[in-house]
Amino acid sequence: MGIRRTRLKSHLFIAAGIVAAVACQDQRGLPKEALDWSNPRPVSDPFEVRHAAIEGDSLVVHLTYSGGCAEHQFELQANGPQLRSLPPKQPIALFHQANGDPCRAHIEETRSFGLHPYRMSPNGITVLLFNDTTLMYRYE
């Protein structure tokens, strides 16, 4: 009985070690900004994307927001680290800065954002994950 109990304890100890080793993710290769929690991502003011498409080396986005009294800025940023796959996948997000605009006019416009920073494959294809849309970015 004592040998069985000792063997069971050793098996449980080994199993716990394996689970602990597998649960720890390898963080090598991730960009520093993906691991740096001291600089949180910007908070975006409300807006709605009506349509998004890739045209050449640009993401063209038709969007709407409320405002009309101040200049609004939009910035395209990586929304997490590149996902290792073939072709590589990059989550991206659009951030809106309304600059405290108190007006409520319904603004509709089309904006364009350069995609050069997301060229990640020597094969000329990166999959961009934007909102709920998967976009194929092809380049030379």
Q: Which top CATH class is 43-138?
A: mainly beta
Would you kindly state where each structural domain of the chain is located, as residue ranges? Answer: 43-138
Q: Residues 59-71: what's their mean pLDDT?
A: 97
pLDDT in tens, 91-129: 999 999 999 999 999 999 999 999 999 999 988 999 999
Cα–Cα distance measured from residue 82 to residue 125, given in angstroms and rounded to the nearest whole number: 13
Determine the pLDDT at residue 112. 98
Q: Can you give the pLDDT at residue 43?
A: 86
pTM greater than 0.85 (yes/no): no
Instruction: Give the pLDDT confidence of 130-140 residue by residue, as tens digits.
Output: 999 999 999 98
Backbone dihedral region for residue 44 (phi beyond 0: left; psi -120 to 50: alpha; all else: beta): beta
